[in-house]
Each structure stands twice: as structure tokens, then as C-alpha cells.
């Protein structure tokens, strides 16, 4: 079940990467690169930090899902763009899932709660950061104007805290993921934004 949810999150992230490729007028190869980086980049970065073989290179599905998302966007990107609000909700679910799972894996490999939280955030937003850099955009992590990294931080922190309190397994993962998901969706609906430095206007 966890792998299915993981692949769903990868699929949604890959859609957003491929759509970025369309907006940047990239060819099919460029779209695939952005889709793959968005979907898999965070998990690969996490596993490299943990010094383990990235899970993306252990299962064929982790490679085929971004390819499938790219094909869908390549042929039907106007239709995909029209359902973007629904995709953003799924993206928020992927954000919550990845930050919780990333933190949990970091804890399993012996990282302390603070470092595990940071690695959970990396899992959730690392792919999007790589996508933005490749596409020539300001990374969301550095310009969190719609509360994207903040929900990941809170979800990862909650996962680390629950683990410290002796709560493990899917209930803890679900609780942390729901927290990040709920905050992200609320931020989108209410247009919450991270503050700028004092005296700096919008």
C-alpha cells in the first residue's frame, strides 16, 4: 500500500514537472527530464545523504511512472492544465506523504530528530527545487510565497516528534502527512504567504 501511495505522489509530481516543460517550450526530452527530477529528485537526494542505493533505482515502476506522466502531458497538456486545481490538491497530498516518509526513513537510519526533519523536507521539496533550477525559476524553497516548504517542515517535525514519543508505523506517518496536507491546502485556498523582510513590499 505504501508503495502505491509513493507512486501516486511520484506521478503527480511528474505531471507538474512535465507541465513546467510545456510552459518553458521544452521538447519531449526536456519535459521528461523535468518530470523525472521533480518526481524522484527529493527521494534520490535523501537516499544519497543516507548513503543507501536510491529506491528509484530499485524498482522499474519508479522510472516508468514519470515517463507515463510525461506522455500524458505531451499529448494532452491543455486538458491536464484545466484540471490543475485538482492536481494541486494531489500535489499537496504528495508533499505530505513524502515529508513524513522521508523523515521516517531518516530516523530509521539513525539520524537525530532535527536532521531527520531537514531530510524529510528535502524529500518533499528537493525535486521541485531541482525542477525550478533547471527551468530557470526561483526555487520554491527560497521563495515560499504560497506556503509550500512550511507545511513540509511542520509535517516532518511532527513525524520526528511522534517518533520521539514512541509512536511509529502508518498511524504516525498518516498523522504527519495529513498535517502537512491540510496546511498546504488551507494556504492555497486562503492565499496565505510567507512574510517578506521588514520594509520590503510585494
In contact, 163 and 172? CB cutoff 8 Å: yes
Q: Could you read off the pLDDT of 129-184 as tens digits, one per residue?
A: 899 899 998 887 777 667 888 999 999 999 999 999 988 888 898 999 999 999 99
What is the distance between the alpha carbons of residues 131 and 15, in angstroms, rounded to a whole number?
Answer: 12
Question: Does residue 3 have a pLDDT over 80?
Answer: no
In contact, 11 and 67? CB cutoff 8 Å: no
Arithmetic mean of pLDDT, 49-75: 92
Residue 131 lies in a domain: yes
In contact, 63 and 44? CB cutoff 8 Å: no
In contact, 69 and 11? CB cutoff 8 Å: yes
Domain span at residue 49 reads 2-190
What is the distance between the alpha carbons of residues 25 and 31, in angstroms, rounded to a whole number?
Answer: 9
Determine what percent of the chain is predicted with pLDDT higher than 70. Answer: 97
Residue 198 lies in a domain: no
In contact, 177 and 132? CB cutoff 8 Å: no
Number of domains in the chain: 1
158 burial type by CB count under 10 A (0-12 exposed, 13-18 middle, 19+ buried): buried
Other Cβ atoms less than 10 A from the Cβ of 178: the count is: 16
Residue 199 lies in a domain: no
With cell 484545466, the residue in question is 82
Residue 202 lies in a domain: no
Cell triple for 124 = 518533499
Rg (CA), the chain: 16
Residue 89 lies in a domain: yes
Local confidence band at 2 (pLDDT 50, 70, 90 cut-offs): low
Q: Is the pTM of this model over 0.95?
A: no
Question: Does residue 17 have a pLDDT over 70?
Answer: yes
Amino acid at each position: 500500500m505504501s508503495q502505491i501511495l509513493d507512486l501516486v505522489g511520484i506521478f503527480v509530481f511528474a505531471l507538474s514537472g512535465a507541465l513546467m516543460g510545456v510552459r518553458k517550450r521544452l521538447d519531449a526530452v526536456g519535459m521528461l527530464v523535468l518530470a523525472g527530477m521533480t518526481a524522484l529528485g527529493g527521494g534520490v537526494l535523501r537516499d544519497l545523504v543516507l548513503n543507501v542505493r536510491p529506491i528509484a533505482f530499485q524498482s522499474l515502476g519508479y522510472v516508468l511512472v514519470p515517463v507515463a506522466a510525461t506522455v500524458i502531458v505531451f499529448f494532452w497538456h491543455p486538458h491536464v492544465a484545466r484540471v490543475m486545481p485538482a492536481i494541486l490538491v494531489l500535489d499537496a497530498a504528495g508533499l505530505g506523504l513524502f515529508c513524513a516518509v522521508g523523515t521516517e526513513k531518516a530516523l530509521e537510519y539513525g539520524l537525530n530528530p532535527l536532521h531527520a526533519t531537514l531530510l524529510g523536507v528535502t524529500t518533499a521539496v528537493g525535486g521541485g527545487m531541482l525542477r525550478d533550477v533547471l527551468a530557470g525559476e526561483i526555487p520554491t524553497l527560497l521563495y515560499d510565497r504560497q506556503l509550500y516548504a512550511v507545511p513540509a517542515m511542520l509535517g516532518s517535525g511532527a513525524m520526528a516528534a511522534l517518533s520521539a514519543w514512541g509512536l511509529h508505523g502508518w498511524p504516525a506517518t498518516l498523522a504527519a502527512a495529513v498535517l502537512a496536507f491540510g496546511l498546504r491546502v488551507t494556504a492555497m485556498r486562503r492565499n496565505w504567504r510567507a512574510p517578506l523582510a521588514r520594509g520590503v513590499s510585494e
